[in-house]
């Protein structure tokens, strides 16, 4: 008879749908642990294959990409359904805002408007939680021993919380911090991307310890997660080979540039042992375009939650024309929980926050392309999986075949980018040559660029004309 652990592996893990969140390790007596695989992506593994005793613990019930009873709608409806409005795109909401933190240096320290760190600090300093769980850089010693630049960590002081600001486009997993929560009573706030927050909600349904201790979830708007190789890909273009990177800031503000034209800052060692430190506009770096999805976690292709719909409050970038020109960065904010709503309103009244109330449709507009990829694009990917007779998770989006021929091709090339980039980078690392990565990506890159070119549009017009006039 199938047990829970083998079902998880045969469906989610082997199918390429594991996001590597680590929640499956947190159920009591879990036989699983997390490790980075050869592509720099976290996956679970079985600690002791011979010990089948604990193989029936409900790992599929907490996995955000398995077919469990709950989805983002049912989870969020229970928490916010009574008093929030609902939209198909952003989920439940009671307030939607755009702006930034006006006090202190939260905004310059943060990636967008600094609200992430500010809200977490408010929860802590008001005594609403004892600890904050967020993602911080490892020390040089930690980096050397664990071979990762960033990790989920527990913050127990304002200084710790502030040291966690900035977006880490880097894989992280929660097994360590979930173990900390189990062993240390107290209350916690956690920040995470949508599927990680969903996983926390699922875990809280299975185990009251997490339900009682994790009091607030702050969600990030999410495009997708990257492998560790994304940081290496940038660093290599500064002359820092993989393994020699010591520091990376994925979101360095460049004064005078629009907010979405930020820089990437790195420090590490060149092959001759000299220290390299540099900043380049992200658009000058190969592989920067998020729409292409280089080194993306494959599971993200099967996500339908852009706005962390199960979080008490969600923050993202205000990618809207009226805010883009401000290089310091602007947040969009979706408030769901009542207590967090009070904190935001108090912050606005006191002048600590500079926020405009905006219609929810503006929040939707700020993430148009991400939404298209996770609605129409996902529907098409689900259709392709079904056609191939492969297992895939149930989503809130239904499979759809009939979309425009151009977008069919765009979604197919994006899938190719995800598949090919991981193995191409591995080969480049083995051969110690970044150009190999580029040459393996180039055929797909060129076709993708062609789909957005005038040549494609002209040819398409010609085909339509000939068809209509034949
Ligand atoms: C992988 C990823 C993809 C994203 N995609 C989009 C997108 O497509 N569109 C969009 O509008 N916004 C996206 N964001 C969110 C955006 O980059 C900012 O994080 C967000 O706007 C908050 O900025 P801030 O200045 O308010 O927060 P800050 O004050 O900088 O605080 C950010 C908080 O997030 C935590 N954090 C950083 N990295 C991670 C991580 N990987 N996992 C969990 N917590 C983390 C930090 O520890 C800190 O507590 C993404 C973020 C990540 C990490």
CA of 136 to the centre of ligand 1 (A): 12
Q: Say how many Å lie between the CA of residue 168 and the centre of ligand 1.
A: 7
C-alpha 465 – ligand 1 centre gap (Å):
46
> Taking 90 as the threshold, does the pLDDT of residue 48 lie above it?
no
Q: Residue 459 has what pLDDT?
A: 84
The Cα 78–Cα 405 span in angstroms is 39
**CA pair distance 115, 359, nearest whole angstrom:** 19
Q: Which atom of ligand 1 is nearest to the CA of 117?
A: 29
What is the atom index within ligand 1 of the atom nearest the CA of 106? 29
User: 313-353, pLDDT tens digit by residue?
Assistant: 999 999 999 999 999 999 999 999 999 999 999 999 999 99
Percent of the chain scored above 90 by pLDDT? 93
What's the 404 CA to ligand 1 centre distance in angstroms?
A: 32
pLDDT value at position 336?
98
Question: pLDDT band at residue 466, thresholds of 50, 70 and 90?
Answer: confident
Could you identify the atom of ligand 1 that is nearest to the CA of residue 319?
Answer: 11
How far is the centre of ligand 1, averaged over its atoms, from the C-alpha of 55 (Å)?
Answer: 35
pLDDT over 70 (residue 156): yes
CA distance 30 to 54: 7
DSSP string, 247-300: EEEEEE--TTS-TTS-EEEEEEE-TTS-EEEEEEEGGGSTT--TTTTTTB-GGG
User: Cα(91)–Cα(46) distance, rounded to whole angstroms?
Assistant: 35
| Closest ligand 1 atom, residue 118 Cα | 29
Q: Would residue 344 be called left, alpha or beta, if left means φ above 0 and alpha means ψ between -120 and 50 degrees?
A: alpha
Three-state DSSP class for 73?
A: helix
Atom of ligand 1 nearest to the CA of 226: 1
Secondary structure element (H or E) that encloses residue 216, with its range: strand 214-220
Helices (H), 23-138: 59-62, 72-80, 106-109, 115-125
- Give residue 238's pLDDT: 98
Give the pair of three-digit tokens for residue 84: 């929030």
pLDDT tops 90 at residue 152: yes
- Do the Cβ atoms of 225 and 297 come closer than 8 Å? yes
Confidence of residue 457 (pLDDT cuts 50, 70, 90): confident
List ligand 1's pocket residues with C-beta within 6 A: 110-117, 120, 134-135, 164-169, 172, 191-193, 220-223, 225, 315-317, 319, 331, 367, 370
Structure tokens at 145: 């021993």
What pLDDT is recorded for position 464?
83
Q: Nearest CA to 292 among 453, 458, 417, 431?
A: 417
Pairing of strands 214-220, 188-192: parallel
Write the residue with the smallest CA distance to atom 24 of ligand 1.
114
The ligand 1 atom at the shortest distance from the C-alpha of residue 220 is 15
Distance 68 CA to ligand 1 centre (A): 27
For residue 432, count other CB atoms closer than 10 A to its CB.
10
Distant-in-sequence, close-in-space partners of 394: CB < 8 Å, separation ≥ 6: 67, 71
Check if the beta carbon of residue 365 is closer than 8 Å to that of residue 87: no
The answer to whether residue 470 scores a pLDDT higher than 70 is yes
Q: Name the residue at shortest CA distance from atom 37 of ligand 1.
A: 167
Among 116, 163, 167, 371, residue to substitute to test ligand 1 (most atoms within 8 Å of Cβ): 167
Say if CB 108 and CB 119 are below 8 A apart: no
**Rounded to whole angstroms, how far apart are CA atoms 11 and 19?**
13
| CA-based nearest residue to 233, from 152, 296, 153 | 296
- Could you identify the atom of ligand 1 that is nearest to the CA of residue 164? 47
* H or E element in which residue 202 lies: helix 194-206
Between CA 308 and CA 333 the distance in angstroms is: 11
pLDDT value, residue 463: 85
Distance (Å, whole) CA 14 – CA 254: 42
CA of residue 219 to ligand 1 center, whole Å: 8
Q: What is the pLDDT of residue 1?
A: 55
- Output the six-digit token pair for 458: 């002209």
Q: Are 24 and 62 in contact (CB under 8 A)?
A: yes
Distance 162 CA to ligand 1 centre (A): 14
Of residues 445 and 466, which shows the higher confidence score? 445
Rounded Cα distance between 2 and 311, Å, is 33
> Tens digit of pLDDT for each residue in 374-430?
999 999 999 999 999 999 999 999 999 999 999 999 999 999 999 999 999 999 999
**What is the per-residue pLDDT across 229-285, written as a single tens digit (0 to 9) for each?**
999 999 999 999 999 999 999 999 999 999 999 999 999 999 999 999 999 999 999
């Amino acid at each position: 008879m199938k047990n829970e652990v083998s079902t998880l592996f045969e469906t989610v893990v082997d199918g390429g749908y594991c996001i590597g969140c680590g929640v499956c390790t947190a159920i009591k007596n879990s036989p699983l642990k997390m490790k980075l695989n050869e592509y720099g992506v976290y996956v679970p593994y079985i600690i002791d294959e011979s010990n089948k005793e604990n193989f029936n613990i409900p790992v599929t019930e907490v996995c955000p990409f398995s077919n469990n009873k709950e989805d983002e709608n049912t989870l969020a409806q229970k928490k916010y359904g009574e008093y929030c409005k609902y939209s198909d795109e952003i989920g439940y909401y009671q307030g939607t805002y755009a702006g930034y933190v006006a006090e202190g240096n939260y905004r310059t320290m943060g990636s967008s408007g600094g609200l992430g760190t500010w809200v977490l600090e408010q929860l802590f300093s008001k005594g609403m939680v004892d600890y904050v769980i967020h993602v911080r850089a490892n020390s040089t010693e930690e980096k050397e021993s664990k071979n990762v630049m960033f990790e989920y960590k527990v913050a127990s002081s304002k200084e710790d919380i502030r040291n966690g600001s900035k977006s880490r486009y880097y894989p992280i997993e929660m097994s360590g911090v979930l173990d900390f929560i189990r062993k240390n009573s107290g209350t916690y706030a956690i920040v995470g991307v949508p599927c990680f927050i969903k996983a926390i909600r699922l875990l809280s349904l299975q185990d009251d310890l997490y339900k009682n201790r994790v009091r607030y979830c702050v969600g990030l708007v999410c495009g997708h997660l990257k492998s560790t190789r994304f940081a290496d890909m940038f660093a290599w273009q500064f002359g820092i080979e993989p393994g020699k990177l010591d520091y990376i800031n994925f979101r360095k503000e460049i004064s005078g540039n629009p907010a979405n034209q930020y820089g990437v800052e790195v420090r590490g060692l060149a092959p001759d042992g000299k220290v390299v430190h540099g900043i380049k506009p992200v658009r000058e770096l190969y592989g920067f375009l998020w729409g292409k999805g280089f080194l993306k976690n494959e599971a993200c292709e099967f996500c339908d939650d852009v706005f962390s719909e199960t979080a008490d409050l969600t923050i993202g970038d205000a990618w809207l024309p009226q805010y883009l020109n401000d290089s310091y960065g602007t947040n969009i904010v979706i408030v769901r929980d009542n207590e967090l709503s009070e904190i935001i309103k108090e912050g606005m009244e006191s002048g600590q926050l500079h926020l405009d109330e905006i219609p929810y449709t503006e929040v939707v507009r700020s993430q148009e392309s991400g939404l298209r990829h996770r609605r129409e694009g996902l529907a098409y990917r689900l259709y392709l999986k079904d056609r191939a007779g492969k297992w895939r998770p149930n989503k809130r989006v239904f499979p759809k075949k009939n979309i425009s021929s151009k977008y069919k091709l765009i979604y197919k090339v994006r899938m190719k980018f995800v598949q090919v980039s991981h193995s191409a980078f591995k080969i480049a690392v083995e051969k110690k040559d970044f150009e190999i990565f580029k040459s393996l990506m180039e055929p797909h890159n060129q076709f993708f660029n062609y789909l957005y070119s005038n040549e494609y549009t002209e040819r398409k017009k010609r085909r339509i004309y000939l068809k209509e006039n034949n």
